[in-house]
Amino acid sequence: MAVTGDVGAGKSTVSRLFEALGGFLIDADRVVAELWRRPEVIGAALERWGRGILDEDGRVVHASVAGIIFPNRVEYEWAMALLHPLVRKEIARRLELPRAEDWAIVEIPLLFEGGVPPWVTVRVFVTAPLALRVERCRVRGWDGAELAKRESFFMESERRMALSDFVVRNDGSPEDLKLAVKGVYDECS
């Protein structure tokens, strides 16, 4: 099962609710963070963008990378071409590892943009009203303009919803969300 959706809609919350129902969770954003520690990824980024993306200890500063890629479609596409194949390969590797759980949840924000991998059997899209998503993104230090800028790089929400098997609307109470997730789980079981 892959969980995707709008920025600030609650993909992580929905993914954790599925995990609580007995699956194991792989978070693509965490995989990306791990990739930014690989020498070959750092080297490619340094060659392209220079040492300004590193902190004093030589680690990639994600905010610096975001500051380069989100205002510039060419740089964004270059970064995605570097990372997407590596992310997909690493997720596929983790899915092959033996586990006690018999199903997986992969939280993957750019599920459709990179092409749906063959290991995805169910696509769940999480959405919420824009005002609520803007409010949730404030904890990341983003305002509505920053949210809109980042989402401009993604496929339109309506198209991603149409490509999904289930749409979970995260605009009610936590109990409403749990019930919605349980309903999807029950339909897939």
Section 16-38 average pLDDT = 96
Average pLDDT on 26-51 reads 96
Average pLDDT over residues 115-124: 94
CATH number, span 2-188: 3.40.50.300
Structure tokens, 148: 């809109």
Mean pLDDT taken over the chain? 95
Reported pTM: 0.93
| Tokens linked to 113 | 């943009």
Provide CB contacts within 8 A for 76, sequence distance 6+: 69, 70, 153
For 79-113, what is each residue's pLDDT tens digit? 999 999 999 999 999 998 888 777 999 999 999 99
Q: How far is CA 55 from the centre of its chain?
A: 24
All structural domains of the chain with their residue ranges: 2-188
pLDDT one-digit tens code per residue, 134-162: 999 999 999 999 999 999 999 999 999 99
- What pLDDT is stored for residue 98 in this prediction? 80
Q: Calculate mean pLDDT across residues 115-141.
A: 95
The arithmetic mean of pLDDT across residues 120-130, rounded, is 97
C-alpha distances in Å from residue 11, one per residue of 6, 51, 87, 138:
8, 33, 18, 16
Q: Which of 38-47, 77-86, 114-123 has the lowest mean pLDDT?
A: 114-123
H helices present in the chain, as ranges: 11-20, 28-35, 39-49, 62-69, 73-96, 130-137, 144-151, 157-162, 174-188
Task: Identify the DSSP state of 52.
Answer: G
The stretch 127-136 carries a mean pLDDT of: 96
pLDDT for the residue numbered 101: 74
Token reading at 169: 């609307």
pLDDT band at 169 (very low <50, low <70, confident <90, very high): very high
pLDDT value of position 69:
96
**pLDDT at site 99:** 80
